[in-house]
A and B are shown apart, each in its own frame.
Chain A
């Protein structure tokens, strides 16, 4: 709780940001990134499948 973060408008804003820093960290680490990872792997799977349909044929 540094002194300069109180009183001014910028301070209130910064306080609000700092206050939910933990919430944002946990949300990103345990929800956001795992969802993004799953989505990327699924997209990778679909791309490989479509390439198999169009060019490669079934995996050898």
Chain B
């Protein structure tokens, strides 16, 4: 090391004795030009479609999808190539993105998305990464070709005009609405939302203290006994419970919720008068006085139904509680803003009340690619952030901006 420094020191500080100054400068100049040209050549070569699809993941999964779209083949013969959309065009961001590709090289080596199945399962992660990038830079790469200032709104279909003029006034990012325009959308139906994995691992490391309230991170069964053998119902996600004691793999929790005093009273809600489901009990147990304690009865003036505040003790499997509900809402908020804005601008959470959301959401969720668990979390998020809970006047989600015909 020391000799290396000495060598470099000599190399730079001892004047040349044999080679003329002009020759040195000219030689250095030529070498500089050659090096910069070579560097640009390499940047260009790694920014070419040929290079992108030389990796089999891209060639087998993404190329065939692109080939079915207008960005591959159209009547004007102008086409977008991989880097036109996916590599930033400015120098600094481009270099950063190319270094970021080291992660992709690593993924290729360990085979993270080596097969079609793995790719499809992982697709939502990749898509969300790219959607976040487009959301941050306002779809800059799209707008290298399609910019609002160059659009002739008069020549659009009338239905498109409304949406596009609104988007232009807001200077909205293209990908806010046009997701899945060049590749298939991630299929999340019946699939597992990987965002929940972080929650589950956070819950596994959660320190639980007796007598404190926690929230469930996943829907789960509840049991009558600590051996977890007699199932008596199920808790929904983000249900609030108080921990009473921990024994081995089981945890005893206390539920303090509301129910409608009608029928079996199986469905338990988090708040008086609001249909935000927290737990669903089995028929056999729901009216059992040994299990359920009624604390208070109150009539809901809107529906004339009697609501009862009820409490019960039950056992759950250990390791699925978390001390703050916010991480759950973060996931729900991300799902809500990405899934619902594909066709229309999503309404403000507080634009509707907690009892209106289930009907609206149930009617729309079929058009999205949310899996069952995610849909439940998103609905609960919307209900608990609805006008019943919000103190601010709803603003952004004006009806004219939200109710537009869906994109074909």
Contacts and interface: CB of A to CB of B under 8 A. Distances in A.
B162 interface: no
8 contacts: A21-B19, A29-B28, A37-B39, A42-B99, A57-B136, A58-B135, A58-B137, A59-B133
Tell me the dominant secondary structure on chain B's binding face: helix
A32 B97 CA distance: 25
A28 B98 CA distance: 26
Contacts of B399: none
A59 B137 contact: yes
Contact of B96 (A24, A37, A49): A49
A48 interface: yes
Shortest Cβ-Cβ A-B pairs, 10 listed: A45-B99, A29-B31, A58-B136, A45-B95, A48-B96, A34-B35, A58-B133, A59-B93, A49-B96, A46-B99
A26 B30 CA distance: 11
B180 interface: no
A29 B27 contact: yes
A38 to B, nearest CB: 7
Interface residues of B, number: 31
A41 interface: yes
Nearest to A14: B17
A55 interface: no
A24 B18 contact: no
A52 B35 contact: no
Contact of A34 (B16, B38, B135): B38
B181 interface: no
A9 B135 CA distance: 70
Given A57-B136, A58-B132, A25 B16 contact: yes
B224 to A, nearest CB: 47
Contacts of A44: 92, 95
B88 interface: yes
A6 interface: no
A28 to B, nearest CB: 7
Residue picked from A42, A44, A59, most chain B C-beta under 10 Å? A59
Interface in B218-252: none
B380 to A, nearest CB: 27
Interface in A13-45: 14, 17-18, 21-22, 24-26, 28-30, 33-34, 37-38, 41-42, 44-45
A41 B24 CA distance: 25
B100 A49 contact: yes
B403 interface: no
Contacts of B88: 59
A60 interface: yes
B38 A21 contact: no
B77 to A, nearest CB: 31
A44 to B, nearest CB: 6
Nearest to B88: A59
A41 B95 contact: yes
B204 interface: no
B145 interface: no
B74 to A, nearest CB: 29
Residue picked from B14, B27, B95, most chain A C-beta under 10 Å? B95
Contacts of B93: 48, 59
Nearest to A57: B136
Contacts of A29: 27-28, 30-32
A21 B18 contact: yes
Nearest to A30: B31
Contacts of B151: none
Given A18-B17, A44-B95, 11 more contacts: A26-B27, A29-B28, A30-B34, A34-B31, A34-B39, A57-B136, A58-B133, A58-B135, A59-B96, A59-B133, A59-B136
